[in-house]
Amino acid sequence: MNIAIYPGSFDPVHNGHLDVIERASKICDKVIVAVAVNRSKSGLFTMEERVDLIEKATEGISGIEVKSFEGLLVNFFQKENADAVIRGIRAVSDFEYEFQMALMNRSLDEELETIFMMPSQENIYLSSRIVKEVAHLNGNIDNFVPPVVKAALQEKIG
């Protein structure tokens, strides 16, 4: 059984994340969507809300588990006995940070392999930050997030 971890902040999960989760679920037996706890960075949604939204948004996809983790990704990777870490990559601008992170993680554990996946073109420009900005400014976010996240954003932002 191969297990992949898809880590991120997911504040909140959007269609670009879901696109990567769906692709990863086709090549892995189990995908653990891992919400990182960042105590120094307060987000719009709490950890519990992020986990809950991902669980609801991934209901139709098989082999998905949603968890949170604190501290180093490499420790969580070892604890879960995982085979790989999945990261979505959207554009050249993502590359430097992702490259740095993948090499740092590998230097912490030689077994940690990072697999990069590209979302489909219509989701390539999405980020949680930009979705929140559009929602704040009352823009239409129907094409960017699943209905459950849209409702949660509307409730948060008003």
Active site residue 56: no
Query: In the window 48-87, what residues touch ligand PNS (CB under 6 A)?
Result: 72-73
Active site residue 41: yes
Task: Give the total of residues touching ligand PNS (CB under 6 A).
Answer: 9
- For 6, the 3-state DSSP assignment is strand
Active site residue 106: no
Cβ contact 88:17 at 8 Å: yes
Among 5, 6, 8, 123, binds ligand PNS (CB under 6 A): 8
Q: Return d(Cα 39, Cα 152) in angstroms, integer.
A: 22
Among 47, 89, 101, 115, binds ligand PNS (CB under 6 A): 101
Q: Return d(Cα 158, Cα 154) in angstroms, integer.
A: 5
Active site residue 17: yes
Among 27, 104, 130, 157, binds ligand PNS (CB under 6 A): 104
Query: In the window 30-49, what residues touch ligand PNS (CB under 6 A)?
Result: 36
Cβ contact 85:76 at 8 Å: no
C-alpha closest to that of 49 among 37, 59, 61 = 37
Beta carbon nearer to ligand PNS, 74 or 134: 74
Q: Check 25, 50, 87, 128 and give the catalytic one.
A: 128
Does position 105 interact with ligand PNS (CB under 6 A)? The reply is: yes
Residue 74: which residues within 8 A CB-CB, separation 6 or more?
105, 108, 109, 112
Does position 103 interact with ligand PNS (CB under 6 A)? The reply is: no
